[in-house]
Each structure stands twice: as structure tokens, then as C-alpha cells.
Copies of this chain bind each other. A is one copy, B any other.
Amino acid sequence: MNKDASESLQKAKDDFVGQWGAMGSSWGINRTMAQIHALLLVSAEPLSTDQIMEDLRISRGNANTNLRDLVGWGLIHSVIRKGERKEFFAAEKDVWKIFCTIARERKRREVTPAMEVLQRCAAESKDDKSQEGRDFHRQMNDLLEFMRMGERVLDHIASSEESRVLKFAARFLS
């Protein structure tokens, strides 16, 4: 992963990349994507597609697809080096920024569509006066309201300074 790293450091990095990749699955992220992200997270220098292929023993197609997806998420970006023809990739390393990016993207990809479903189901049952109907409508609205609140809080967190959020968290915990 980096020729300068000592053997034991290299082992620790490989460990991280491997484990982080395995974790990806349970988070609904494919293994390769999580591994590439982990690899770039602990790489001192930007890496080329070929370096990533070699390091993780994966095909070019696989590397390319997942790199594009990671760029799409905003978790990595490409780096162009003077005089070099090929593209390199580097990960955002600031944990707070990573968190905000993931929160923003998961909201866009998963939370918003879910809320649209709830919205529609609530609307469809608005005029049903039976007990069943009222209960269902209530349940949809409860879920909706909860998610709206969560969304607002996350938006606010993601658009605040880390220090301000931490200060608030500290106050909350005390």
C-alpha cells in the first residue's frame, strides 16, 4: 500500500482495510467499495486505479466502478498530477466531514424516498373514518413526524461547525 511502511504497520493497515470491508456489508455497502475507501483513508499518497487493483487483488472493472461510486458519494476525489496521464484518488480524511457527507447522501438516497412513501400512505388514508383507517393514518403520521424531526436535526448538525455540535452534545450528556 505504501512502500515506506514498516512490515507491522503494513499489517495493521491491511487489517483495517480487510475488516472495514467486511463491516461494509452490514452497513449495506458492498465489500469492495468499503475496502477501497478504507485503503484510501489510510494511504499517505493518492493512489492510481492500478495500485488499488494490485493492493486489493481486484479487476479493473470492479476498481473503476467502485471508485466512480465513491466519487459519487463525495467520499473520495480524483487528483491529477502534473505530467502524469493517469488519474489518482484520495479520500477525505476529516472524520467530521466524512460523517456529514455520509449523512447527506444517505438522507438523499434513503430517507427522502421513505418519507415520500409515508406521505403517500398518509394521504391515501386521510378520509377513512373507520377505526382501522384512523389507526393506520395515525401510524403513518407518527412515523413521518419522527423522520421529519430526525431529518431537521441531521441537516442542522451537518451544516454546523463541529465544535458547536460537540459543545451541544456535551451539554446534553451532562
Name A's B-contacting residues (CB within 8 A): 2, 4-6, 8-9, 11-13, 15-16, 19-20, 23, 25-28, 41-42, 44, 93, 95-96, 99, 109-110, 113-114, 117-118, 120-121, 124-125, 128, 130-133, 135-136, 139-140, 142-143, 145-146, 149, 152-153, 156, 166, 168-169, 172-173
Measured CA separation A103–B33 after assembly (Å) = 24
Given A6-B130, A27-B110, check contact A117 B44 (CB 8 Å): no
Chain B neighbourhood of A118, CB < 8 A: 16
Contact indicator B153/A120 (Cβ below 8 Å): no
Find the B residue at minimum CB distance from A136. Answer: B42
Find the B residue at minimum CB distance from A114. Answer: B23
Chain B neighbourhood of A20, CB < 8 A: 114, 117
Contact indicator B16/A121 (Cβ below 8 Å): yes
Contact indicator A15/B130 (Cβ below 8 Å): no
Shortest distance from the beta carbon of A163 to any chain B beta carbon, whole Å: 13
Chain B neighbourhood of A11, CB < 8 A: 124
List the 8 closest pairs (A to B, CB-CB), nearest first: A28-B28, A12-B124, A19-B117, A95-B146, A16-B121, A95-B142, A12-B125, A5-B132
Shortest distance from the beta carbon of A142 to any chain B beta carbon, whole Å: 5
Shortest distance from the beta carbon of A115 to any chain B beta carbon, whole Å: 11
Chain B neighbourhood of A15, CB < 8 A: 117, 120-121, 124
Contact indicator A143/B95 (Cβ below 8 Å): yes
Measured CA separation A140–B42 after assembly (Å) = 9
Contact indicator A132/B4 (Cβ below 8 Å): yes
Chain B neighbourhood of A124, CB < 8 A: 8, 11-12, 15
